[in-house]
Structure 1
Amino acid sequence: MDMYLIVYLIFVIAPLTTLIHELGHVSGSLIVKADYIRLTMGYGKRPFTFNFNQIKFIFYPFYFIGGFTTSERDKPYKNSEIVWVTILGPVFNAITAWLSYFAFEFYPSEFLQLLFWFNIWMAIVNIIPFKINEKQTDGFTILKLMIK
């Protein structure tokens, strides 16, 4: 793999895929009518923030080091609503993979191929239930809710 593709993967594809994943959770939160939603990308000092309705977007300088979304509502969430919010992250990645696959058919490029494979990876890994320290996948969250 060329060096420019590695740089592209780290600084464009990985954060874009993470953002797509987190926007899935944001969409789920909007569906269940969350009062407050916060999407955070990366780590560091002095973030760039902006609000859009009840959604607060926070982007840190090291935007390529992951992301997470939280949402709150006065009325407690039902387990089925949490499943909706949780599952839409991997679903958005699967849809993006599917769209990038078809785009690749018309405009073949290594960039679209990376976008496809990274979104496939993100969707599959996040639906497999496992936990490492305090981090857990969406699949683990769903499994916990189903066995309650």
Structure 2
Amino acid sequence: MNISLLLYLLFVVAPIGTVLHEAGHVLGAKSLKADHVRLTIGSGTIVNTFIIRKVQVRIRAIFFLGGSASSERKNMYKPSELIWIALCGPLTNGFIALLLYILYMIYPSSYLLLLLLFNLWIAIINLVPFRFKEKQSDGYAIVKVLTKR
């Protein structure tokens, strides 16, 4: 991998893939009439906060390193609704990967391929149940809901 592709991966592909993934969770929560929704991009100090369509967006200094989405509703979510919200992130990345694949077949490019593969990777890896410190995958969240008694 050359340096331009590496920089593109770090500063363009990773943030775009993360924003799309977390936006998927936001759309899932909004579809279930969430009262409060927050989208956070990156880690570190908050550098900007704004509201788009009743969604609080926070951008952190290290914008290319992770993200999260959270939502609250006056009436508690049902287990099936929690699963839906968790699935919306990986489904969004999977759908975007499919669109990028079609585009890549028409306009082959290393940059497009990297964006496609990263979105596919996010879709797949987030369905695998795992937890690392206080972070958990969407697959882990789903398994937790399914095994709760």
* TM-score using structure 1 length: 0.96
Structure 2 equivalent of residue 88 of structure 1: 88
- Matches for 1:41-120 after TM superposition, within 5 Å: 41-120=41-120
Distance in 2 between residues matched to 1:6 and 1:128, nearest whole Å: 26
Displacement of 1:46 in angstroms is: 4.4
Residue deviations 1:74-95 (CA, integer Å, cap 9, x gap) = 1111111111111000000000
* Residue identity in the other structure for 1:105: M
Displacement of 1:44 in angstroms is: 2.9
- Whether 1:131 aligns to 2:131 is yes
List, as ranges, runs of 4+ consecutive aligned residues in structure 1 with deviation greater than 4 Å. Answer: none
Distance in 1 between residues matched to 2:143 and 2:109, nearest whole Å: 37
Identify if the C-alpha distance between structure 1 residues 131 and 45 changes in structure 2 by more than 3 Å, giving closer, same or farther. Answer: closer
Displacement of 1:144 in angstroms is: 1.0
Q: Secondary structure at the match of 1:127?
A: coil
Distance in 2 between residues matched to 1:52 and 1:8, nearest whole Å: 27
Residue deviations 1:80-135 (CA, integer Å, cap 9, x gap) = 11111110000000001101101101111111100111011101100011112221
Stretches of structure 2 lacking an aligned partner (at least 5 in a row): none
* Residue identity in the other structure for 1:79: P
* Residue identity in the other structure for 2:74: D
Stretches of structure 1 lacking an aligned partner (at least 5 in a row): none
Q: Secondary structure at the match of 2:34?
A: coil
Sequence identity of aligned pairs in percent? 43
Superposed CA RMSD in Å reads 1.0
Distance in 2 between residues matched to 1:53 and 1:128, nearest whole Å: 31
* TM-score using structure 2 length: 0.96
Q: Secondary structure at the match of 2:45?
A: coil
Displacement of 1:43 in angstroms is: 2.2
